[in-house]
Structure 1
Amino acid sequence: MSVLCNETVYPKTYEDLLEIIRDVGKRKIYIIGFNTHHIGKNVNADICISMRNFNKILEISESDLFVTAQPGVSFEALKNALSERNLFLPLTYSGSLGGLASTNFPSLFSLIYPYPKDLLLGAKIITGLGELIKSGSRTTKFSSGYKIWKALSGSLGWLGIYVELTFRLIGKPERLAFAEINQEKIQKIISERPWGIFYNNGKTFVIFGGFSKYIDSLEEKYGLSFQDGLPNASLDCERIYGITTYRGKEFDIINKIGPDKTIAYIGSGYIRTCNEINKKDFPEESIIIEKGCKEDEECFEHYKTGELLKKSLDPYNIFVSSY
């Protein structure tokens, strides 16, 4: 998939961004981070706005367990900065923080922290009207107003631009480890509070974070062999379908589409597959074409809520995406 822009700009300040939005007229804008996780169709835009210069970690609070950073910060750089303070953002991603929030891609820690928006406390956002707004807070107890910052998560830049993101943190686990597990053992090991269960091409892995002594005890108790780190979550093919289903129904979907070239984040309700599927065979599921979507196809399902937000946040329809 590709992004075609007549012009790419690299603003350095929020004022630069606001000026571009206000002066854009009828031209179309596409927001890019590192442009490594393009989803959907090819995109044609008059202007591509790169967020690479917005690459500062603004605040890390060890007492209140949150981090505020700009969208051009790489997830890897943030992870390293947090690790130095014994803090951890329990998500998995390769790319920018803006991409992490805008794609809202599932986490390997799917049983406890399924999606980035589950940990997104608030954000500063620029709308299609050229307004800089603050939505959300720095604490989990905040509940007033519309959760605009969460609505933008997963919209692929279609509703607005993240310029600051605040995520909830946890303490850094002493050890992260995974082990292959038989499916019949899953119900028993759930009681041990694993962080995630991940399915990859016929194999199922359980993921734990915490004290080494505790993870070692699980090896003997369940006959598992843990490896440090996380299992491989890549899926490489020309066409990839994403299937959203009810949490706990992932293996039912896997059995329908076949185990090969299929991965699933158990507990998040999300499955990815290279196998050709017919949407009519999955009437209760939401189907998207992540990769390899043709120009004459509908890559995503549209929802009335999204259309209403679009009219409110970007009434002149200047932001385009691969929707």
Structure 2
Amino acid sequence: MPEVYSEKELFNELRDAYISNKKVMMLGYGRHSELRKADIYLHVKMDEYEIHENFVIAYAGASVSKIREDALSKDLLFPSFYDGSIGGLLANNEISPLSTRFGKPSEFTEWVDFVTPYKMFRWKGIIGSKGLFGGITKAKIKLFERPSKVYTFESTIEDTSYLISSIDRFSKFNPLVLLIEYLENGKYQFHATLTENIDTTGFSKDEGVPNIEESNKNSYYVRVNNVEEFVNVMKKINPIYAYTVLNTGYAKIYVTDEDLLANYEYFKSEEASMIHKKLKKIFDFKNIFV
């Protein structure tokens, strides 16, 4: 597995693959993407980063966890719980519970550099492309003021009317997190993280921010515009598990039968969106990236 330590090395590897008609897959060190069949697996080892007043400039191999910890020590917040590299975070455009306030990585990233076998580009459009048409090398990402205190309110809810009214209630406080998990048989786990303490009956209260331990196996991103749509999808398909983060426009749903999603706008968690598949035809017309 070739290791690349600079943008020039990456360009040379991609150029050689292009000339020799070999398939390439870009790798960091996260566990978020399954290996696809390729002739060459390029392991990106560029891991330098530098934090400035309200942003970080990081190479693709830099650890998101290290950047997050370093930012916290400076009273700054990196708004993702992703546990892999910067390149993986951007290639997947990974949603996190903090996406309620800060959005997906595509929304808090200012620019991205990526390399093809022909030249280097600076364009945010590669975010979410799953490595299908270029190798991400470097990015400028916004950081935010670290909250002095956070409070998470949680409850298991079966009454969907109460679930929806709870969303409306907590939305008024500009939450860091509004996360709804579908458990089974019509039960939902509600999580709301605020930067202020409020008196709320019917909800347990804890300090800290909720996170989700998950894999991409048998999972799909389904378009849902609000909690009402999320609830309607849950009632119709009763998945193994699902969740939605308010303001992201998607639910992540785990089902064993993909046909259950036939009536919805969706794509597999391991696959790029249709837009990125179309972009691949422009940036990778020889189809060397897998």
Please list every run of 5 or more consecutive structure 1 residues that lacks an aligned counterpart in the other structure.
1-7, 136-147, 291-299
Aligned to 1:311: 281
Aligned to 1:60: 51
Aligned to 1:163: 137
Aligned to 1:191: 172
Q: 1:167 to 1:185 in 2, by over 3 A?
A: same
TM-superposition CA deviations, 1:80-135 (whole Å, max 9, x none) = 11112111111221111111110112120232223111111101110232x123x2
Question: Given the alignment, which residue of 158, 172, 176 partners 2:150?
Answer: 176
Deviation of 1:281 after TM superposition, in Å, equals 4.9
Query: In 2, distance between residues paired with 1:61 and 1:301?
Result: 32
TM-superposition CA deviations, 1:6-35 (whole Å, max 9, x none) = xx1001122211111222221111000014
Which amino acid in structure 1 is aligned with residue 46 of structure 2?
F
Aligned to 1:235: 214
SS of 1:105's equivalent in the other structure is: coil
Query: In 2, distance between residues paired with 1:197 and 1:258?
Result: 21
Would you say the 8 A contact 1:199–1:264 is kept in 2? yes
Aligned to 2:27: 32
Aligned to 1:44: 37
Q: What is the RMSD computed on CA atoms of the aligned residues?
A: 2.3
Q: Does 1:11 align with 2:1?
A: no
Aligned to 2:224: 245
Would you say the 8 A contact 2:130–2:272 is kept in 1? no
Q: Does 1:132 align with 2:120?
A: yes
Query: In 2, distance between residues paired with 1:106 and 1:10?
Result: 28
Query: In 1, distance between residues paired with 2:278 and 2:215?
Result: 35
- TM-score, length-scaled by structure 2: 0.85
Would you say the 8 A contact 1:128–1:313 is kept in 2? no
Aligned to 1:207: 193
TM-superposition CA deviations, 1:234-274 (whole Å, max 9, x none) = 23685223323224422222232327522222331222233
Query: In 1, distance between residues paired with 2:236 and 2:120?
Result: 46
Question: Equivalent pairs: percent with the same residue?
Answer: 22
Aligned to 2:105: 116
Query: In 1, distance between residues paired with 2:141 and 2:289?
Result: 25
Paired residues, number: 275
Once the two structures are overlaid, the 10-residue window that deviates more, 275-284 or 99-108, is 275-284
Question: Given the alignment, which residue of 81, 104, 118 partners 2:70?
Answer: 81
Which amino acid in structure 1 is aligned with residue 7 of structure 2?
Y
- TM-score, length-scaled by structure 1: 0.77
Would you say the 8 A contact 2:76–2:145 is kept in 1? yes
Please list every run of 5 or more consecutive structure 2 residues that lacks an aligned counterpart in the other structure.
158-162
Q: 1:71 to 1:281 in 2, by over 3 A?
A: closer
Q: 1:276 to 1:75 in 2, by over 3 A?
A: same
Would you say the 8 A contact 1:286–1:301 is kept in 2? no
Q: 1:188 to 1:302 in 2, by over 3 A?
A: closer
SS of 1:43's equivalent in the other structure is: coil
Aligned to 1:276: 256
SS of 1:252's equivalent in the other structure is: helix
Query: In 1, distance between residues paired with 2:167 and 2:93?
Result: 26
Aligned to 1:297: none
Aligned to 1:105: 94
Deviation of 1:221 after TM superposition, in Å, equals 4.7
1:91-102 mapped onto 2 (5 Å cutoff): 91-102=80-91
Q: 1:79 to 1:10 in 2, by over 3 A?
A: same
TM-superposition CA deviations, 1:260-316 (whole Å, max 9, x none) = 5222223312222333344465524223254xxxxxxxxx5863x434422332232
